[in-house]
Amino acid sequence: MSEEIAALWEKLRSDIAAKIEDSGQAVQVVYLTEHDPPGKQPFMYTIGNYHRGLPELLVVGTDSEVIAGVLNRLGKMQRDRAKAFADEEIVSVGGKFPVRIVDAGIIGRKRYATFVGIFYGTESYDVRQVLLPDTQGRWPDTPGCDAPYRNQPVLSAIGRTKQ
């Protein structure tokens, strides 16, 4: 690894560690680029809950700062209660409709929240996906769910169909 890349890597690790120290977690946002294939969606996930024995949280289909704030709030709720959100848990974050938490399984770990494993040097961490309801409170796997909400993949369902 070149000295420049090593220095950038160390700065990135340091910045993430500082956010975790200050706020309990960092939110990693993955934006789309012109090189991404059609149909790929932006996503974001937390880094910092693993070292407390809790799953990291993931949202697929947005790079909105508002949703990053929702992840920060959910992460704090999870840390404050010192208990992981359960698969299919419904959680109120104060809006009109709650969010739904599902186990993101190996897909969440290998395809989305990969930097958690790099940061902590492990492949043994859990990821929970946060599903956002549409403006009528319908989930992406519910008939009639409006776009763009219906475009969120439900990773727990994908994992079950591939087994």
- Please say if the pLDDT value at position 161 is more than 60: no
pTM of structure: 0.92
* DSSP tally for the chain: helices H, then strands E: 5, 6
| 65-81 mean pLDDT | 96
* Cα 21 to Cα 64: distance, rounded to the nearest angstrom: 23
| Residue 130: strand, helix, or coil | strand
Confidence (pLDDT) at 160: 55
Confidence of residue 20 (pLDDT cuts 50, 70, 90): very high
* Cα 19 to Cα 1: distance, rounded to the nearest angstrom: 25
Q: What are phi and psi of 41, to 5 degrees?
A: -115, 150
pLDDT tens readout for residues 82-135: 999 999 999 999 989 999 999 999 999 999 999 999 999 999 999 999 999 999
Confidence (pLDDT) at 163: 40
Domain boundaries, the chain: 3-161
Confidence of residue 162 (pLDDT cuts 50, 70, 90): very low
**Cβ(85)–Cβ(128) below 8 Å:** yes
pLDDT tens readout for residues 27-61: 999 999 999 898 899 999 999 999 999 999 999 99
- Please say if the pLDDT value at position 159 is more than 80: no
Residues linked to residue 58 through DSSP beta bridges, in sequence order? 45, 129
Tokens 């880094």 label which residue? 47
